[in-house]
Structure 1
Amino acid sequence: MDAHSGSTPQTPPPGCPMHQGQPTALYGEDFAADPDWFYDRMRAAGPVAQVELAPGVDATLVIQHETALRVLQNPALFVRDSRRWNALNDGRIPMDSPVLPMMFYRPNSLFSDGAEHLRFRKATTDSLNRINVSRLGRDVERVADYLIDQFSERGSADLLNDYARLLPLLLFNQLFGCPADIGDRMTRGIAGIFDGGEGALRANDELTSSLLELVALKRRNPGDDVTTWLVQHPAGLNDEELKDQLVVMLSAGIEPVSSLICSSVLLLLSAEGTRGAGMLVEDAMDNVLWNNPPIANYATHYPVQDISLGETTLRANDPVVISFAAANTDPTLTDARLTLSKGAHLAWGAGPHACPAKSPAQLITLTAIERILNALPDLTLSLPEEKLEWRPGPFHRAPVAMPVHFSPTPAHRTPPPPPNIPNRPTGTAPVQGQPAPGAHRKQKGWWSSFLDVFRV
């Protein structure tokens, strides 16, 4: 789906880095509003471009499909261990930078190479492979029905913050065996590191403490859940390693899935993809993954030596970021894409670090979309598509909100919520915020209240 806005200028505005040969900022509102406009103009310089991920954080962005594959599939020349990062080691990266929680080294499969990567990856894939697919589908339906019941009688909702963002949060808390209080803190932490901003590092601290507590709990009291399977895996991961496998599994499974749900529904409701035109849900998902992937720019690599890509020489140990969004829409693929299989896009990555959770993520997304379209058959976007706002940030492609309306429908698919269920805060945070001064530390969040309903 094209995201071009009619209000986007056709030439760079005065002071734009494109006029001055400076790195292109990927974190401002202009980039969030229409990233394709920027990708198109970066392509004029070749297969890569110099960008700024956050103030003071420079990187090389790979925007050509063939070059992206060259990096992703060549672990001998391009590695993932960010402890090599020149600018960070030299003290040139602000330690309060909002992108650090998404870029600094963690002992997990995302930031490792060689034998260490194989050890972490096997623990992850073996644990994910133990998920019962039939049960997962039923759990998605149950969570989806519960969430739809919360707004079905109103006749209107924010499809992102009332549904698409909450569903994977609640579902993954179940899959990973999170008790209510740990789940509340974990969900706040994940949302915070993706949103970035001033609270990113604080959110990372909250996520770290909650997951270490979860690991300790599962060592004492094993359960039938992914966390326990990781703890018991023959790889023998220590607590720090376990915590950071959980970070990458939960982060990759929650925020991107919520955006894929929302963007796929948006396409189905848009003029180019109305259900009357017969577009299948699977086709809408595939269209989004090709043209508007939820993880737009990530998979940071570090060259082990100086190397040339096009006319640009990459310096050893400087960050190289893959633009999945730009590579998928590379003009050189215009004809080739017609003969490529649906899964040939790069939204799931490629090479040794390709996403290991592709199948469950697709099942969750497909079921969530079908569930809400069947429950609310006249679902309609409440504002023109071009008026939607997109969250600033270098890594994701996610709307701020997605208001919809529909014919009010009685809530009857799940038990009614207890009277003390809290109001979820507005804005991008999908869970209960920090307690007000003087409030009890055990004040319930969204996850706690969800568990209360299912204990009825």
Structure 2
Amino acid sequence: MTTPPSPAAPTPPPGCPAHRLYGPEAEADPMGLYEKLRAEHGTVAPVLLQGDLPAWLVLGHRENLDVARTPSRFSRDSRRWRDMQEGKVPADHPLTPVAAWQPVCNFQDGVEHERLRGAVTESLERFDRRGIRRYVTRFADQLIDSFAETGRVDLVGDFAEPLPMLVMTQLVGMPDSYGPRLVEAARDMLRGTETAVASNAYITDALFQLVSRKRAVPGRDFTSWLLEHSSSLSDAEIIEHLRLVLIAAFETTANLIANTLRVVLTDGRFRANLSGGHMTLPDALEQVLWDEPPLTTILGRWATGDTELGGQQIKAGDMLLLGLAAGNVDPEIRPDLSAPVNGNRSHLAFSGGPHECPGQDIGRAIADTGIDTLLTRLPDVELAVPEADLRWTASLMSRHLVALPVRFTPRGSTVTGSTPVPPTAPAPPAAPFFEERPPARAPWWARLLRRR
């Protein structure tokens, strides 16, 4: 005898089966799947996640903001997830590393969220934006110097990915020598390779040693400012938030740089508007943030009680996913997707509400300055393969350009004589454990962003 589905689970109307947000269809054309869901269900659609766990995908722009801005109805605390409470999400489930509660600000609500996020945002706000751009220009020039004489390069692996991490290591107060190794460790961890756990341990050890050094000799950097913040964060809380900021900046900013460069290189009208002064580079970034946000969805809001959203009856403990990419093309707010959105920052690329990305302006600065430096140094850069040959990998929350091979007229290094960034090598084994250090854990975001 077949057991009927639980009335508490998201159930589609008769004849409209819930679609899986994983598997070949979702990976091959996520935007096409979102539009199919919108046509069948409207602004909020029932979907299935790994293991056929039910959830709601929010497709409407207004509905996304409603969820993001009302934590009293839609909490960020995953301990409210009914399926997890009922034991349907075991320790080895693909979503466990993503959804298991963590002592960081993005899994908190209320007073504790304000304490942790306040430390992060107030410390980030202390940076001089001109100083950040100087770091970006310095590292962008070093990266370009490493391939300028070859006339060919992959702008994903050799520019878009390393640049954000190199800049962030400076902002958190690490020596230059850590940058290339952290880039490789972060790549390895997010790809979920056999050495991903060791790479995570290397990052944890590096951050633990950084906190120890900054406690003894503080500086003008993010780590020191977290240590001295009035919220009195513990060392474990500081390490968790440093890791969160580093990985989030690496992943999202690398995607933003790669996506923007792809559009510049493949859309002649877009590039003409940019080079002709009809569009500024910040305008171009905002256009890409509308059309190809670095994260397509954000997993993790849980209904605090029975409620209604987009005509759907949401039950207490239901999981909701913010559909950032789908909300950005909601026909209610963008009936003509070909129309430019110059200067309009009302997209969902950085979410919204109390959990809106606190580092978005730093991400914009890294992307804007890095791309400007590249196009100034290599003005004749062009795609080295047919556009149809470009390939992506997709996961539940993002879509990655695998490579962006380009060619250009070979050039010498910069007149400043900057030293090229050394090639990255596999991350070394984790440093020896100290008695007082927190144990390294498998990364909770690793399966979130890599292809499953």
Q: Shorter-normalised TM-score: what interval? A: 0.7 to 0.9
3-state SS, counterpart of residue 264 of structure 1: helix
Which structure is richer in relative contact order (CA contacts within 8 A, separation 6 or more)? 2
Q: Secondary structure at the match of 1:395?
A: coil
Once the two structures are overlaid, the 10-residue window that deviates more, 69-78 or 335-344, is: 335-344
What's the secondary structure of 1:301's corresponding residue? strand
**How big is each residue's C-alpha offset from its partner over 1:195-230, in whole Å with a ceiling of 9 and x where there is no partner?**
357766665555444433332332233222101110
2:182–2:427 contact (8 Å) kept in structure 1: no
Change beyond 3 A, Cα 1:23–1:382:
farther
Is residue 146–residue 414 contact of structure 1 (8 Å, CA) maintained in 2?
A: no
Number of the residue aligned with 2:267: 271
Task: Note if contact 1:65-1:330 (Cα within 8 Å) is conserved in structure 2.
Answer: yes
Is the Cα contact below 8 Å between 1:77 and 1:304 reproduced in 2?
A: yes
1:216–1:104 Cα change, 3 Å:
farther
Contact 1:196–1:393 under 8 Å retained in 2 = no
Aligned to 1:167, the other structure's residue is in SS state helix
What is residue 31 of structure 2 aligned with on the other side? 36
Q: For 2:105, which of 103, 109, 112 is the aligned residue?
A: 109
Shift of 1:94: 4.1
Letter in 1 for 2:123: S
Shift of 1:382: 1.6
Q: Residues 203 and 256 (structure 1 numbering): CA distance in 2 closer, same or farther, change over 3 Å?
A: same
The verdict on how the C-alpha distance between 1:197 and 1:286 changes in structure 2, with shifts beyond 3 A counting, is: same
Q: Which amino acid in structure 2 is aligned with residue 293 of structure 1? A: P
Give yes or no for the alignment of 1:433 onto 2:431.
no
> Do the aligned partners of 2:143 and 2:158 also contact (CA within 8 Å) in 1?
yes
- The equivalent position to 1:357 in structure 2, one of 343, 359, 374, is 359
After TM superposition, give the deviation of residue 306 of structure 1 in Å: 2.1
Amino acid in structure 1 at the alignment position of 2:60: Q
Moved more, 124-133 or 327-336: 327-336
Instruction: Tell me which residue corresponds to 1:429.
Output: none
Flag the 1:244–1:18 CA change in 2: closer, same or farther, 3 A.
farther
Give SS of 2:72's match.
coil
Letter in 1 for 2:159: Y
Question: Is residue 2:141 matched to residue 1:145?
Answer: yes
Q: Distance in 2 between matches of 1:306 and 1:137?
A: 47
Q: Which of 16, 21, 28 is the matching residue for 1:26?
A: 21
Match of 1:448 in 2: none
Residue aligning to 2:5: none
Q: Report the alpha carbon displacement of residue 335 of structure 1 after superposing the two structures with TM.
A: 4.5
Match of 1:316 in 2: 316
The equivalent of 2:287 in structure 1 is 287
Question: What is the deviation of 1:261?
Answer: 0.9
How far has the Cα of 1:20 moved from its partner? 8.3
Distance 1:259 1:440, change over 3 A: closer
Distance in 2 of aligned mates of 1:114 and 1:409: 54
| Structure 1, unaligned runs of 5 or more | 1-16, 425-431, 443-456
Q: Cα–Cα, structure 1 residues 183 and 29, in superposed 2: closer, same or farther, change >3 Å?
A: farther
Q: What is aligned with 1:224?
A: 220
TM superposition shift of 1:388:
1.5
Q: CA deviation at 1:346?
A: 1.1
Distance 1:343 1:440, change over 3 A: closer
SS at match of 2:317: coil
Deviations 1:220-248 (A, max 9, x none): 33222101110111100012211222132
Please tell me whether the aligned partners of residues 172 and 250 of structure 1 are also in contact (alpha carbons under 8 angstroms): yes
Residues 257-316 of structure 1 show CA distances to partners (whole Å, capped at 9, x for unaligned) of 111111111111223544224443222211111111001101521110122223432232
Give the 5 Å matches for 1:25-64. 25-44=20-39, 45-55=41-51, 57-64=53-60
Cα separation, 2, equivalents of 1:310 and 1:169: 39
d(CA) in 2 for partners of 1:200 and 1:63? 33
CA offsets 1:41-77 (integer angstroms, 9 cap, x no match): 0102122223344445543211111111110111111
Structure 1 residues 197 and 319, CA, compared in 2 at 3 Å: closer, same or farther? Answer: farther
Which range moves more in the overlay, 191-200 or 71-80? 191-200
Matched residue SS, 1:142: helix
Give the secondary-structure state (helix, strand or coil) at the position aligned to 1:298. strand
Tell me which residue corresponds to 1:70.
66
Kindly indicate whether the alpha-carbon contact (under 8 Å) linking 2:81 and 2:302 is maintained by their aligned counterparts in 1.
Answer: yes
- Greater CA deviation, 357-366 or 46-55? 46-55
Q: Cα offset for 1:179?
A: 4.2
Taking the aligned partners of 1:333 and 1:24, their CA distance within structure 2 comes to 25
* Structure 2 unaligned blocks of 5 or more: 1-11, 433-452
Please give the alpha-carbon distance, in whole angstroms, between the structure 2 residues aligned to 1:100 and 1:173. Answer: 29
Cα separation, partners in 2 of 1:185 and 1:271, compared to 1, 3 Å: closer
Instruction: Give the whole-Å Cα distance in 1 for the aligned partners of 2:383 and 2:364.
Output: 23
Confirm or deny: 8 A CA contact 2:170 2:176 kept in the other structure.
no
Question: Taking structure 1 as the reference length, what is the TM-score of the superposition?
Answer: 0.82
Tell me which residue corresponds to 2:369: 367
- The one-letter code of the counterpart of 2:325 is A
Q: Could you tell me which amino acid in structure 2 is paired with residue 397 of structure 1?
A: R
> Which amino acid in structure 2 is aligned with residue 433 of structure 1?
P
Partner of 1:172: 168
Compared CA separation, residues 199 and 57, structure 1 to 2 (3 A):
farther
Q: CA RMSD in A?
A: 3.0
In structure 2, the partner of 1:410 is 412
Structure 1 contact 101–204 (Cα < 8 Å) conserved: no
Q: Is the 8 A contact 1:98 1:201 kept in 2?
A: no
Residues 135-214 of structure 1 aligned to structure 2 (within 5 Å): 135-179=131-175, 186-188=182-184, 190-192=186-188, 194-196=190-192, 204-214=200-210
Q: How does 1:376-415 map to 2 (within 5 A)?
A: 376-412=378-414, 413-415=416-418
In the alignment of these two chains, the number of paired residues is 413
Output one character per residue of 1:350-371: Cα deviation in whole Å (capped at 9) or x when no partner.
1111122222221111100100
1:69/1:224 CA distance change after superposition, 3 Å: same
Task: Give aligned-pair identity as a percent.
Answer: 36
Q: 2:331 corresponds to which residue? A: 331
Instruction: Report if the CA contact (8 A) 2:293-2:349 is conserved.
Output: yes
- Tell me: CA distance 1:281–1:181, structure 2 relative to 1, closer, same or farther (3 Å): closer
- Deviation (angstroms), 1:177: 1.4
Tell me whether 46-55 or 397-406 shows the greater mean CA deviation.
46-55
